[in-house]
Amino acid sequence: MYALLGLVCAAGGVAYVNCFYKIQALFQRLKLPNFIKPAIGGAIVGIIAMFVPHVLGTGYGWLQIGIFNDPTFFPLWMLLVIALLKILTTSFSIGSGGSAGIFGPGLVIGGFLGAFVATGFHDIGMFESVDVSTVAIIGMVAFFGGVSKSPLSTIVIGSEMTRGYTILPAMIVSVVITYSIMKLDTTIYKSQVTDRSQSPAHKKDYQIPLLKELLVKDAMDTNYPSMSITSSLEEISRKIANYGTENILITEEQKFVGAINKNNLNKNSNTASLVKSIGVTTLDESLYDAMKKMSTNNTNELPVVDSHSKRIFGIVSLAGIIRVYDLELSESKDKKTRLSGST
């Protein structure tokens, strides 16, 4: 029964989300003043309520009657009709621009779906020992856990509502089935992000730690311009122009000795006099530390050298760091292997 309840709540959840956002999009396309749109939505809700008044208000009172399984109030078909019409009226109320919440209606819809499933089984003589109220509570948890994409939180809420863990296994079964069937992007909260690192409120908490995990060798470019200290300024000028780089690295006997900035080229000087000592980084240094050195040296790139032999491995640039950082974030979403420590 609880597995079937999960399927019913998943179907109802998909209908709820799709109906809500399609009606909202419909009202957004209407070329009418914004204060008129809620009036139209309210009028539609009022017309529906003339025939089924149970959809008005929070619906908690009607749900309480429904979960006590009073057939004089709610025959089986009526439980399903109220749940479906509650989806429709909630969509018109909020989608038209009205002020209302979606948590309460979500619980009411899920509760009526749970009561519908339980009453249906009772009518055919099955699971009569299970109270309708129990299944209705599980329906609330499963339905809202699916549409809000917060299964664990709603399971905890369900346990607090019942003040115990007696129905916890049944809740888990229904919630897992509902959540698994509904697609990840089928959520009533469209602004909901995939994880904390994507949240504007927590993004800064992840930026610096991530840069401290990634290494310079992850962002290093091995295609870099270098010239011997014995090269002429004309040769150096041509190479800087060909690479379009800010600095050209200068070596002496294959060892790094400094760099010449393109803005300091002076044909009346010799190469050795223009060589300036600049900050360097190493393969195993973090990108965070490399960026600090860039800021200190007022540059957008640093040579990557061996700390002992002074051999040049490549350069790391601000653009390269941003590229690797963005790549790491996208791979983290797909739960792929982190780049930190890769070769």
Domain assignment present for 23: yes
Q: Cβ of 108: how many Cβ atoms within 10 Å? A: 27
- Percentage of the chain lying above the pLDDT 90 cut: 21
**270-322 pLDDT, tens per residue?**
777 788 878 889 999 998 899 998 888 888 888 898 888 888 888 898 888 88
Rounded to the nearest integer, the mean pLDDT of the chain is 83
Domain assignment present for 343: no
Contact partners, residue 177, CB within 8 Å, separation at least 6: 3, 6, 7, 10, 142
Half-sphere exposure of 123 toward its Cβ, with a 13 Å CA cutoff?
13
Look up residue 277 and give its two tokens. Answer: 């000592």
Contact predicate 258/297, CB 8 Å: no
**Which residues constitute the domain of residue 225?**
216-329
Domain assignment present for 41: yes
* Domain edge (last residue) among 192, 225, 259: 192
Domain assignment present for 197: no
Domain assignment present for 337: no
Q: How far is CA 172 from CA 19, 157, 284, 298, in A?
A: 27, 12, 46, 56
Contact partners, residue 69, CB within 8 Å, separation at least 6: 115, 118, 119, 122, 131, 132, 133
d(CA 115, CA 106): 14
Look up residue 248 and give its two tokens. Answer: 């050209």
> 113 and 238: one domain?
no
Q: Looking at per-residue confidence, does 224 or 41 come out higher? A: 41
> 102 and 59: one domain?
yes
d(CA 319, CA 330): 17
> 115 and 164: one domain?
yes
Predicted pLDDT at 337: 41
**147-195 pLDDT, tens per residue?**
988 888 889 988 888 888 888 999 999 999 999 888 777 888 776 666 6
Question: Strand 301-305 to strand 312-317: parallel, antiparallel, or no bridges (unpaired)?
Answer: antiparallel
Look up residue 54 and give its two tokens. Answer: 């149970």
Predicted pLDDT at 23: 92
Contact predicate 287/211, CB 8 Å: yes
Predicted pLDDT at 211: 80
170: amino acid identity, one letter: A
Rounded to the nearest 5 degrees, what angle is found at the Cα of 68, between the Cα atoms of 71 and 106?
Answer: 105
Q: Name the residue among 179, 63, 170, 61 with its Cα closest to residue 116.
A: 63
Q: What is the DSSP letter of 54?
A: G
Q: What is the DSSP letter of 276?
A: B
Q: How far is CA 194 from the centre of its chain?
A: 2
> Per the structure, how many domains does the chain have?
2
**50-74 pLDDT, tens per residue?**
999 888 888 888 888 777 756 556 7
The answer to whether the Cα torsion of 97, 98, 103, 109 is positive or negative is negative
pLDDT band at 87 (very low <50, low <70, confident <90, very high): very high
Residue-level length of the chain: 343
CATH number at residue 81: 1.10.3080.10
Check pLDDT > 80 for residue 343: no
pLDDT band at 44 (very low <50, low <70, confident <90, very high): very high
Q: Looking at per-residue confidence, does 125 or 203 come out higher? A: 125
* Domain edge (last residue) among 158, 176, 192: 192
> 220 and 119: one domain?
no
Predicted pLDDT at 335: 46
CATH number at residue 319: 3.10.580.10
> 91 and 25: one domain?
yes
Predicted pLDDT at 47: 94
**pTM metric for this prediction:** 0.58
d(CA 65, CA 53): 14
> 128 and 250: one domain?
no
Predicted pLDDT at 341: 44
d(CA 108, CA 9): 12
Residues 323-339 have a mean pLDDT of: 66
Predicted pLDDT at 202: 63
Predicted pLDDT at 193: 65
Question: Strand 301-305 to strand 255-261: parallel, antiparallel, or no bridges (unpaired)?
Answer: unpaired
> 80 and 158: one domain?
yes
d(CA 37, CA 254): 74
Predicted pLDDT at 7: 92
Check pLDDT > 70 for residue 204: no
